[in-house]
Amino acid sequence: MARDRVRVAVLGASGYSGIEAVRLLTAHPFVEISALTSEHYAGREVADVYRHLAGSDLPPYEELRPDFLRGRAEIVISCLPEKTCAPILVELVKNGARVIDLSADFRLKDPAVHRATYAAEQAAPALSRQAVYGLSEFHRSELREARLVANPGCYPTGALLALIPLIKRDLIDPSSIVIDAKSGTTGARRTASIEYLFAEVNENFRAYKVGTHRHTPEIEQEVSAVLGREVALMFVPHLLPITRGILTSIFMKPRAGTTEEDVRNAFEAAFAKARFVRLLKPGELPELRNVRATNFCEISAVLDRRSHTLVVITAIDNLGKGASGQAVQNLNLMLGFDEAAGLLSAAPVP
């Protein structure tokens, strides 16, 4: 592997988002994977655990220790769970690494909201304030210089791509927002559990954490930041019997006078340069299969005059644009690469 590739370490590289980051990076033309950690598989070759990556030139899994990196990577993608990783990431940033964190540890700006949401203090409030919220399409310039990127949650990504363009142009009543999202099971971590056993999820469907999911304050923070004032919204996640993908239907009351054209213009303007947002034609509706295993987002809007309701629907892969795909997109932006480098493979359909 060429010595002038940028060296990337992936922490927590054996979970669902971790191994997806590895898969994406093995196909990336400008990076080299220089270190991989896994608590569970430390000491083992990746291809012994994940045969689909056999043939790639990968370092073995190692344990995550405070000083494990020692300058072996310019950039670190952390797929570690909430709370456990913050102190190590703080240390890594101090030592000069640039970090993309897929956990929620640095996403919330307000320490009180963080505390209320995650039942824990922020690990490094100052760093949380500096961290760039990595919703790539809306933070390109900040990402270029970012030391620490708080990669967005999967549900917030699917919701905010729809909401921000509308809020920016004041096309909807922010107090009317209802988000009904449906996620595949890889939204939950790859840990032993009864709840996510095949026989519990298969041929089943249910809502969970109605109005209380931890991604709610994250969505509200970003909407409020654009709006310029606090907003509270309703968010209901559901568990789909599929492996990957989040389809999000967002319902809103349009401002008086808002037209379909206004909505279309808002999205066209917001995503004119977006490589991964597919604004669908009128009559087309997002499907999860079209974005599976990719960093793409499909989006479409319907304004129903009868009920005076606007619905916007988005489809993403929760492990792609909702996690590791967006992390690689952010890496590209941070390093000045082509934003789409390594990310343009088409979804396998069917």
Closer residue to its own copies, CB minimum distance, 6 or 242: 242
List 79, 85, 154, 297, catalytic entry: 154
What do you get for the CA distance between the two ends of the chain, in Å? Answer: 34
Residue pair 143/328 in contact by the 8 Å Cβ criterion: no
Q: Which is nearer to its own copies, 141 or 202 (CB)?
A: 202
Q: Name which of 123 and 242 has its Cβ closer to its own copies.
A: 242
Q: Which is nearer to its own copies, 121 or 230 (CB)?
A: 230
Q: What is the DSSP string of 124-144?
A: -HHHHHHPEE--GGG-HHHHH
Cβ distance to its own copies smaller for residue 56 or 130:
56
Q: How far is the CB of 326 from its own copies (least distance, A)?
A: 16
Q: Tokens 């929760």 correspond to what residue?
A: 318
Instruction: Give least dist CB 186 to its own copies, A.
Output: 5
Closest distance of CB 341 from its own copies, Å: 14
Q: What count of Cα atoms within 13 Å lies in the side-chain half-sphere of residue 167?
A: 25
**Residue 155 near residue 224 (C-beta atoms within 8 A):** no
CA-based nearest residue to 177, from 317, 312, 287: 312
Neighbours of 272 (CB within 10 A): 9
CB of residue 64 to its own copies, shortest distance in Å: 19
For 167, residues 6+ apart whose C-beta sits below 8 A from its C-beta are: 174, 223, 226, 227
Rounded to the nearest 5 degrees, what angle is found at the Cα of 111, between the Cα atoms of 68 and 96? 30
Question: Nearer Cβ to its own copies, position 54 or 120?
Answer: 54
**Given its phi and psi angles, is residue 49 left (phi above 0), alpha (psi -120 to 50 degrees) or beta?**
alpha
How far is residue 274's CA from residue 87's CA, in Å, rounded to a whole number?
Answer: 34
154 is catalytic: yes
β-strand pairing of 297-304 with 309-316: antiparallel
Measured CA to CA in angstroms, residue 104 lies from 52, 63, 83 at distances of 29, 22, 8
Q: Which residue number, 192 or 272, has a Cβ lying nearer to its own copies?
A: 192
CB 89 within 8 Å of CB 68: no
**Cβ proximity of 102 and 19 under 8 Å:** no
Name the token pair of 213: 């999911």
Output the smallest distance, CB 63 to its own copies, in A: 19
Minimum distance, C-beta of residue 247 to its own copies, in the bound complex (Å):
5
Distance CA(211)–CA(188), nearest Å, equals 18
CB of 234 to its own copies, least distance (A): 4
Just list the catalytic residues: 154
